[in-house]
Amino acid sequence: MFGFVIRRLFWIVPVIIVVAAVTFFLMFQAPGGPFDLEKPMPAAAQATLNERFGLDKPVWINLNELQDRWDDGTRNPFLLAGGYLDTQFFNYLRGVLTLDFGPTYESRGSETVQEVIVRQFPISLRIGLVGVVFALIVGLPLGIISALRQNTWVDYISLGVSTLGISVPTFVSGLLLLIFLSQTFGVSPIKRPEAWQGLFSTAYLLPGMILGLGTTAFIARLTRSSVLEVKRQDFVRTARAKGVGERPVVLRHILRNALLPVVTIIGPASADLITGSIIIETIFNAPGLGKTFVDAIGKRDYSLIMGVTIFYAVLIALANVLVDLAYGFLDPRIRTRR
């Protein structure tokens, strides 16, 4: 088991490198730069800032530096490679591998990307955790009851609610609920910035539940399909033929096997809820990392865009590792094959 975990963690490194490369080059395809303001700054000041943050270097390949070193008589391949790789991409990649995402351009270097993530990610994390908990405590029982009461009114209501939850995007449900509460009851879910600082603040409940609606519906439908499939298996009929009670059959035989496909999507879905609260944070004015990420894209804050993207990629990769570990606890056959 320990060797399996080490191998899975090791494969996160090339994934992060690929994510960093794709994000980096897509980012530089967008027009404009981090210092292209509405009121243009002097060319000398902009050149100073570009030099300070390394934006004056070539993006990909530094052929000029390589040629200068060759002309100066440098023939050492390592020194030549150092000049060849003295570019924005490889300099940033070195920083990523040493866990240094650099300063944010908007703060002009007074604040690092790590500081922004540490300060604002807890807000996004709490909203996402509320969505995960809501999806599990509502979606799992809804799917199980629907499968055990197949073709009854309970099943039909469950399918209808699940279909509605999957079909309606979160930004639509969030806006509709925001308008309904504010106009009908005079209650605004938009909170002041200080309301989001408490660990158990009620400000997280409504955004989190709206964020988890789609995942709740998906988990309910997947759980229903999985339970129905397991109910028809031979080992379930054998257990009932031996006189095993309905409760032990459901808990020990049906649910334990039916939850494997559900666990498969819980990990990525949880990471998606935690990292995918961008629209919800914008609607409810939550000062989380998702809203900051959107603002960074508009301001071309390259270091912050890259840092948040890589941070989210690591979270999703770790969630997949946890899902693989959960397989072993639910099904011992998987554990013995590792």
Closest CA to 292 of 37, 284, 301, 201: 301
Tokens 């995402």 label which residue?
101
Q: What is the pLDDT of residue 76?
A: 58
| pLDDT given for residue 9 in this prediction | 77
- C-alpha–C-alpha distance, residues 308 and 26, integer Å: 15
Note the Cα 261 to chain centre separation in Å.
20
The confidence score (pLDDT) of residue 13 equals 82
Contacts of residue 256, defined as CB under 8 A and 6 or more positions apart, other chains included, come to 330
Residue of 280, 260, 286 whose CA lies nearest to 214? 280
Structure tokens at 11: 């494969």
Q: Given this model, what pLDDT does residue 65 score?
A: 60
What pLDDT score was predicted for residue 235?
76
- Please, are residues 19 and 53 in contact by the beta-carbon 8 Å criterion? no
Strand-pairing partners, residue 103, are: 112
Residue 36 is predicted with a pLDDT of: 66
Per-block mean pLDDT, blocks of 10 residues, the chain (338 long) = 72 83 79 66 73 74 61 59 68 81 78 87 88 89 85 85 81 81 70 71 83 87 85 76 72 75 78 79 83 83 86 83 70 55
Domains of the chain in start order, with CATH, are 120-336 (1.10.3720.10)
Q: Is 271 helix (H, G, I), strand (E, B) or coil?
A: helix
User: Which 8-state DSSP code applies to residue 103?
Assistant: B
Q: What is the pTM of this model?
A: 0.75
Note the pLDDT of residue 89: 81
- The DSSP 8-state label assigned to residue 40 in this structure reads P
Instruction: Give, for 226, the enclosing helix (H) or strand (E).
Output: helix 213-231
